Structure 1
């Protein structure tokens, strides 16, 4: 037992601490997402977010129809560190430290007002004003805050909460005028970025029959699902359960379709906020809430173009926060040491499959047929240098090479083509605009493809193959593997003849 004279209370200075916690590293999107967490934990079914432009007096509000708070609960929620992160929490609780409301708010503005009511109770209001705390040097929680939103805003709700941000000094210049169009555009662009971020982070809450609705400036927010589960060509590899401290974690590896399998709209949407390359990797969710949006989690992998189709979902419960090193902003996570090898293994398998889909333009090569796949071009490595040759065993090439009269000319032509491939230009174009390169016969009239296909069928017939064998070979030969229905119809037409 420590004697009373052996210690003294050393309270932090209000004005110093309140300004220190403004530097937790939030951006506007992660800050607002942290406020939304509170609304979801409060079982809200509707959340309304409004960005209101008024120059230096602009403000942001987040309202929900959750269970609300009584006066004691409201005061407690305004206290810094109102929750112990070591305490056991409800399964649906998206918080941890009891800091989110305050740290998220003060990272963006200097005035926070919360108005709330629970069923069969009065409306209560409290406000933190950083300028007032600095002036008084005391933790003075005001009973009256914003004049912009009054208690009547909750009249049409049985219960709910409104969070109002004012003095947006980290978002807009505090000297800006209402008529400043450039500043207004920046404000609107910030709102658009927040909207995209929320559509991504909370997509699993926005989807499904019992979904939550988020209204952004009076428009319903559409979810952004990074795994394209509604698209048939998306591959879900083996789902794996992993365990930490006997608690289950589920890992679901997805390989997205090659862009040739997507519409332009689908491809643009799946690029997400930061583009295809940036969104590859693991997606870590805690209680359906996305924490990490595409990261290889320090497992030794780099984000590279040919792995961009690999996206892996990890579901963790909220009682493994410490093991996963979840930060206050809920925007970073690191896997426990005993999971790293399993996650590496899953990542390698998913990356390999994604690379195959990417390199082969979306073709799926059957594993049940022993027939080799036939490529037009072959790669070789000699003295540490790569080169590319036309496959002399390809059906048409092989047929032409048998013609003695043109054999030498054809050989010379093939060699000339191989030695003059514009590799630097191809590499430059592919690195700058990888999705703008034309696929095989992508823009050609169908007649041209049919002509080339029929010439191959004729060559294979001359080599003594029957039409069933020819069909199987063509389905495993580029570029005809991309057009299976046409292969079948052309072979059947030959059979009828």
Structure 2
């Protein structure tokens, strides 16, 4: 009974005072509420992988106009000690480094910058390491440094000031390879994942270097691509016990749309998605060829089915590498060939929600609904693209002839052109057909080392039957022998069955030549 009365009273109050839910909340004053220093603990579980955290640091390097970035693992014989990210960007002065190290520090981003929230340096670093040191020097400025220790931050936001002499010496050593005086070092100490490397440093570095180069090569592939890339990323190790640095390993671009030929005619195809009250967005739809083994399709290995779907970019930086954002189920094998590149214009960056670690994008329901009506210039609907990708996946592969060594000297040009127009040829290899002195019971020999098909000169005149000799004489016989033996030039040695076959050919051709005589 009491509960019934209480519910009735609340209902009455809602009806009488409903205006309070739409009126402005009255304010009587303001006060500053300092953040609890234990917020540092939250960064340790913020969702960064080691690879994603390093990518976030390199975003800052790109925003600082760096052309080169070095990721260095500092080790002893048995332990991993620390990790450095060195760049040759603009660097920072005393005021700028304080702003960079401030939690929630305000920074004005330019239109093309990769930074978003002003927290990437601290959040990414403290998600992996207990200590973060930043040392930097701007052009015509002194070297400066700051260090966050997680334990000191918890005690009351006490940030260490690094010795100017140490900062200067560290930068001089780190930037010597860049031949520049300005740049930045981000150093991680007490990296929690490095505990796994104890006693097995080589194996750990090999594994993490592999996953790191795949991640960076994919997320930043547009910056790394081309004959004159905007950015070069190197990875190496420094053994402080021996003083030796390993050779630099260069991160290469891993383009998820780098097929030589599309999997279906008419693709890639652009679809225009109209979002009410926001505008139009272009989706670049791609269909990979079926059963391809290219690196751009496999993207480092694992299930390629999880790589289907949307690839969102912001200022050329990849934010999401696959997934359908609730448009349809992720990971369906029959859609493994379907990928869609979407560059987010400035006006859409508040419509789509970019995850804090820049590893995924959340799309509103209105985007998913609009995809059903998205059209290409040839009036195809987006769902038709999805259906076509499934058809290509299920189709049987076309059987293709293997590439061949092209006909070379001794075979008529018209014959060689015919072969090239109907078969793909292996670059820098051709088979020359030449006359040579061979034993009487031999019609031809195969010389793999010089890529030559040798014909017995003693049968030449009888086969010519009075016609004049030339470098390309007897085109029918030479062409038939080229076609008969071409595949035998590919292997390093002949198999037993191949030798038996050649012996049978020799006997038959020698018998035929003697009949001509």
Q: Does 1:193 align with 2:211?
A: yes
Between 347-356 and 238-247, report the one with greater CA deviation: 238-247
Q: Distance in 1 between matches of 2:40 and 2:142?
A: 29
The residue aligned with 2:12 is none
Q: Distance in 2 between matches of 1:211 and 1:13?
A: 41
The residue aligned with 1:49 is 71
Show the 5 A alignment for 1:101-250: 101-134=121-154, 137-144=155-162, 150-152=170-172, 153-154=174-175, 156-169=179-192, 171-173=193-195, 177=198, 180-181=199-200, 184-208=202-226, 209-217=228-236, 218-231=248-261, 236-242=267-273, 249-250=281-282
Deviation at 1:330, TM superposition (A): 1.0
Question: Could you report, residue by residue, the CA deviation over 1:435-464 in whole angstroms, capped at 9, with x for unpaired residues?
Answer: xxxxx6999xxxxxxxxxxxxxxxxxxxxx
Name structure 1 gaps, 5 residues minimum. Answer: 364-439, 444-483, 487-497
Question: Could you report, residue by residue, the CA deviation over 1:260-306 in whole angstroms, capped at 9, with x for unpaired residues?
Answer: xx4x5x2x552113332111111111111111101111113342222
Deviation at 1:350, TM superposition (A): 2.5
Q: 1:3 to 1:358 in 2, by over 3 A?
A: closer
Q: Which has the larger radius of gyration?
A: 2
The residue aligned with 1:287 is 315
Per chain length, whose mean CA-contact separation is higher, i.e. which structure has more relative contact order (CA < 8 Å, sep 6+)? 1
Deviation at 1:93, TM superposition (A): 0.9
The residue aligned with 1:277 is 305
The residue aligned with 1:307 is 335
The residue aligned with 2:120 is 100
TM-score in terms of structure 2 length? 0.62
Write 1 or 2 for the structure with the bigger share of strand.
Answer: 2
Query: Which of these residues, 73, 76, 90, is aligned with residue 99 of structure 2?
Result: 76
Deviation at 1:199, TM superposition (A): 0.4
Name structure 2 gaps, 5 residues minimum. Answer: 1-24, 237-247, 375-380, 403-420, 424-517
TM-score in terms of structure 1 length? 0.64
Q: 1:359 to 1:91 in 2, by over 3 A?
A: same
CA contact (8 A) 1:201 1:291 kept: yes
Q: 1:243 to 1:253 in 2, by over 3 A?
A: same
Q: Distance in 2 between matches of 1:230 and 1:442?
A: 18
Q: Distance in 1 between matches of 2:319 and 2:150?
A: 29
CA contact (8 A) 1:82 1:97 kept: no
Q: Distance in 1 between matches of 2:274 and 2:102?
A: 35
CA contact (8 A) 2:257 2:296 kept: no
Q: Distance in 2 between matches of 1:145 and 1:3?
A: 50
Deviation at 1:96, TM superposition (A): 1.1
Show the 5 A alignment for 1:332-343: 332-343=360-371
Deviation at 1:151, TM superposition (A): 2.7
CA contact (8 A) 1:49 1:61 kept: yes
